[in-house]
Each structure stands twice: as C-alpha cells, then as structure tokens.
Copies of this chain bind each other. A is one copy, B any other.
Amino acid sequence: MAEPSNSIHFGIIGCANIARKVARAINLAPNSVLHAIASRSIEKAKQFAIQNGFSDSVKIYGSYTEILDDPFVDVVYIPLPTTLHVEWAVLAAQKKKHLLLEKPTALDVGELDKILEACESNGVQFMDGSMWLHHPRTTKMKEFISDSQLLGQLNFIHSTSTISSSSEFLENDVRVKPDMDSLGALGDLGWYCIGAILWAKDYHIPTSVTALPDIVKNSAGVILSFTASFHYNQEDKTTFATIDCSFLSHTSMDLAISGSNGSLYLHDYIIPFQENSASFEFTLGAKLVELHIGWNVTPEKVEVVNELPQEALMVQELARIVQNIKNSGGHPEAKWPEISRKTQLVLDAVKRSIDLGCKTVCL
C-alpha cells in the first residue's frame, strides 16, 4: 500500500517487547508510518527490525540521539525503562519531536512536569501509551456512565490489573529492577487501575488515597503486589474505589462500576479478549422480584466492533493531532497530557501512602 504523502513518521527509541506491538500499530494506522528504530547497539536494532519483519525503508540507528536528529521523524515512541524517561523525553521534545511515552510516564509527577514543560515550550504533542482509552468500547462505556438516566451517581468502582509472572520475569524484567522501574507493579499495573478510576470520574482527583495493608515487595524493595482505595467526597456525593494490582496472580483486568441506578462490568478492559470486537455487561434498574426469589433483569451485553485494534487507534489519534499541528497550524491538545499528569499525581499519592505504612493521603 502506498504511503499517503502526509503520513506522520514515527521513530521508536529502544527495542522493548511492547515496541513490537506499537510498531505493528504504526503500520496498521492509516495516517502513520514507521520511519526509524534506534537502539544503543546498531546490531540489536538490526536484529529487532529483522525479527519483526520491518520494511527495508525503516532506518536503523545505533544511538538514541541519531533518531532524534533525523528531521523526517515527527513522533518518537519511547518504551524505555521509566528511569530514563525524563532524560530522553525532554531531549526529544527539545528536538521538536512529538511524544508517545510508555506508561508509567515518569517516576513521579515532578519528573513528568519537566517532560510536559519541555513539550509545551517546544509546541509538541504529548500522549502516554494507555491504549484502552482509544477503544470505541471505552467511549461507549463512558456514555453509560455519564448519562444520569443510566448508571446515575457513581458509588463504587473496583478494578484489577494482575498478571501471573514467570520466575524469569520476577528475576530479570526491568519492571522489578529498582534502577529501571522502581515503581514496579504500581507503575506498570496501577497505571491502568488508577487511570480507570479517573476516567470514570471525569478526571476529578480523589479526595484521599489509602494503600491497604497487602503490599508485597521484592528483596530490592520494588512493589510486586498491592491494593489501594480511593475516596471521592464531592458536594455530598461520595464514590469509593478499590484496586488490586499484582505481578503474582492470575491474569485479570476487571472493571466494575456501580451507580445509583445501574452497574457495568467487564473482565478485559485493558486488553480486550479479542482484537476486532469487545463487550461489556450492564444491569439497569435491577430490583428483586416479589418474594425476593429472583431479579427483574439479567445482565445485558453491549458488543462494540472496532475496525482497528486499540493500539492502532491510539497511534491514529496521535498522528491526527500531529498532522493538524504540522499541516494546519493547529496546537497540541491539552487533554492527553492532562490525563497523564492526573494519573501520575494519584499514582504518586498511592506511593506516598505505601511509604507511610498505609496512612491516608489527602489530595
């Protein structure tokens, strides 16, 4: 397929596993093209390009600076270990590259602010790699949540993000290394659960955050498993949320939201079971029937078909914004960095609560 002339050119910094998925997404999105890949070793970058069947037209760089100096690169995707984000993301922004930054965006909101300031002062778009936010199912669920005739006032949210890790992962993965991703499961898995709460609550910040006394760390002090609770107290309306995040449990991605008039639930909100369609279930106006021997309703399923996988929709959305900036004098959109910043802010609060021995942290 001929590449449309105004396609946005992506460069990838680092050969992380997740980069394979995003490289595929860049190829799938109709308005983007994979232009270059960089590793600290040109051999590794070459290997990665061959293994993933990259087209011969993809440039291969043996250093991160080279890809940032390539004037044809519009956007860099950075799936580096979190510790390296601030350095390379700031440099990329200074080189006028738009940013797709893997989550967690930074080790704390102070670091993220340096990145966001660099993006703002250089007029480049920032977006983090939360793919599920771009799925049309997510939009559909939001309609259910936002319509006061449907779910109503949100009372309870429960979300999980757990994966069963191999001993190899627990030994060697960057996400359990204190010098690479010191936030561990909080940064990797907690990002989704915290993001889901913020998403459900229209990105209002919780009143308080409390880590619960179920924290497992490895010998280096990196969080492998934790649970936390989030309390909203706004204008006499309270919402309470709990999350379970763990590298040490069976794969689960549950999201259950219960309001005054309905409930919504699904078990694959982060990565849908299947790539081309996804569903959620809901009950509305549930009551027990006479004598309480059953319910007046049973769960209904909403199926949402997506023509592109959610990661390609993410790339497409970012490329659309960049096209608008590049070709039509548009400005970066504040929505995406705001979502990232709020997620990082609440994540920091969970970290603080954990560090304080599960004390409640007010926000």
Chain A residues at the B interface, C-beta cutoff of 8 Å = 18, 20-21, 24, 151-152, 155-156, 158, 160, 162, 164, 208, 210, 212-214, 216, 225, 227, 229, 231, 238, 240, 242, 244, 246, 248-252, 254, 256, 258-263, 265, 267-268, 271-275, 281, 283, 285-288, 291-295, 298-299, 309, 311, 360
A-B contact pairs, 18 of them (CB 8 A): A155-B225, A155-B250, A162-B258, A210-B213, A213-B231, A213-B360, A214-B229, A227-B242, A229-B242, A242-B244, A250-B261, A250-B283, A251-B288, A252-B258, A254-B263, A256-B256, A267-B281, A274-B298
* Nearest residue, chain B, Cβ from A276: B294
Evaluate contact between A238 and B214: CB separation under 8 angstroms. yes
Evaluate contact between B242 and A249: CB separation under 8 angstroms. no
* Nearest residue, chain B, Cβ from A227: B240
Evaluate contact between A227 and B227: CB separation under 8 angstroms. no
Q: In the complex, what residues of B have CB within 8 A of residue A229's CB?
A: 212-214, 227, 229, 242
Among B158, B164, B260, point to the contact of A261 (Cβ < 8 A). B164
Q: In the complex, what residues of B have CB within 8 A of residue A249's CB?
A: 155-156, 258-260
* Nearest residue, chain B, Cβ from A158: B158
Evaluate contact between B156 and A246: CB separation under 8 angstroms. yes
Evaluate contact between A273 and B298: CB separation under 8 angstroms. yes
Give the CA-CA distance A261 to B252 in the complex, in Å. 11
Q: In the complex, what residues of B have CB within 8 A of residue A292's CB?
A: 18, 21, 271
CB distance from A289 to the nearest CB of B (A): 9
